[in-house]
Structure 1
Amino acid sequence: MSNWKKIINDSTFRYIDHSNTSELPSAMASFAADDALAISVGNNDSPPTARLWVHDQTIVLGIPDARLPYIESGIHFLHNHGYRTVVRNSGGLAVVLDDGVLNMSFIFPDVKKLGIHEGYQVMVDFTKHIFSDLTDQIEAFEVTGSYCPGEYDLSIQGKKFAGISQRRVKNGSAIQIYLCVEGDGSERAALIRDFYIHGLRGETGRFDYPTIEPETMKSLAQLLDTNLTVDNVKERIFDALSSLTKDVITDDLNEHELIEFQKRMEHMIDRNSKALGDLA
């Protein structure tokens, strides 16, 4: 058994489906929920957890994005195109969320035992596993020209469909992936390209912002030429967890986690207020 399966193969695994946007209507709430769960899992008050989430018409920004020289222009551009904006509490740059993008968080305990790269690799290998009947061409490397580029971009034939970030809170680790399942990946990339055009206005800024080439990004449905949907992928994730672990429970946030969630939500609101001011 490979190492990633050993990490997932706990006696019990928790599965939380927050993909109905009415449950957690704001992406800000999703980041707060992952923090609350990381604390709970890290304290061994919860088993390792997979949480699914979807947020429509939202651009998740990184801290460097909030420091664009003409951030007001960039934000107004996104708002005028019907997108909300949120500054994340994990690393990375701007990404697009909509109803064709499925996010998943793996939340594990014992951060001292689970290295950062090992955490990323678990998500890479699990993603390859759930799509193994459709392709063996998924690779992990930084896709130049994509938005939010990173070492653990996932692509097929050089076209990116997913990115992974990681956040560690006390003794818990949340490894987060956004999967562009359906829709047009290039259109999403063009939106972020234009956001940077408005936010930079020809200047370089204080950060090395990516030069986005929309054709470097596609959805899985486009890459595999299938009718793959977010619901299909949710089923694949649940089925994989059911086969890899001894038991899967579907308990939502409990009373103690909700208390921590409220605290973390306040932190997110404060972070966004400081980063974006009246634009938040």
Structure 2
Amino acid sequence: MIEIHNIHKSFGGKKVLDGVSGVFETGKTNLLLGASGTGKSVLLKCIVGLIKPDIGSVTFDGTYYTNNKLDIRQEIRRKIGMLFQGSALFDSMNVEENVEFPLKMLTNMSKSERMDRVNFCLSRVGLENANHKMPSEISGGMKKRVGIARAIAPNCTYLFCDEPNSGLDPQTAITIDELIKEITEEYNITTIIVTHDMNSVIEIGDKIMFLYKGKKLWEGNNVEIMDTDIKELNDFIFANRLMRDAKKVEDERAEEEDRVEEERKGETR
């Protein structure tokens, strides 16, 4: 579990985060949702420790991370896996070497132990025979899978994903969403995903925090988000016609259920 407490951050006098607090639960896919420029990525960087908040603190399973001793912060960092927006694979390394990289940097594993772990992680993301392919030889979806394999290779406790579906076709995006959710549940990881993709919200939104102009405006799950009275959230969710039509159908279904229930009550009186 990761907790954030009253996070504030400004750049050049412009406030980007304004008192954001919340809890990200273990074994669930926790989504940071919002339009571009709302502070999602800055909040993620504050949590990871890439940016120091002006005010506020972050705790990982009860251990304070912000402003703690260097050795404690480093110990927590060893438990963090990152999936970057552009996958961020090393172009000069093949798939196997990319996944092995954090094991060489963060563990004392022997070469054979590293290879066993690399092969296990590649198998887990469905890339059993891709070890010697170069990043230039694989698709965008495969690059994301390699990125996930690399992130979980050191047995991470916390997984951070920055726009994992960026640049992917809808079908591949759903596959990546499902893979992240499966790994989160299987290994009981605390996963935080930055996204503005409503498909991800609907598919894997166990817990969602909606940011608007640097503030936490709402939080809940992928069922509750479809029925709120917060204008800014509804404007974001139902910005496209497909979502508006889906909302209309859902409202009509709910009205019909209410009507039938009222008729049933009337008959029993």
TM-score, structure 2 as length reference: 0.28
- Give the number of the structure whose residues are more often helix, by fraction: 2
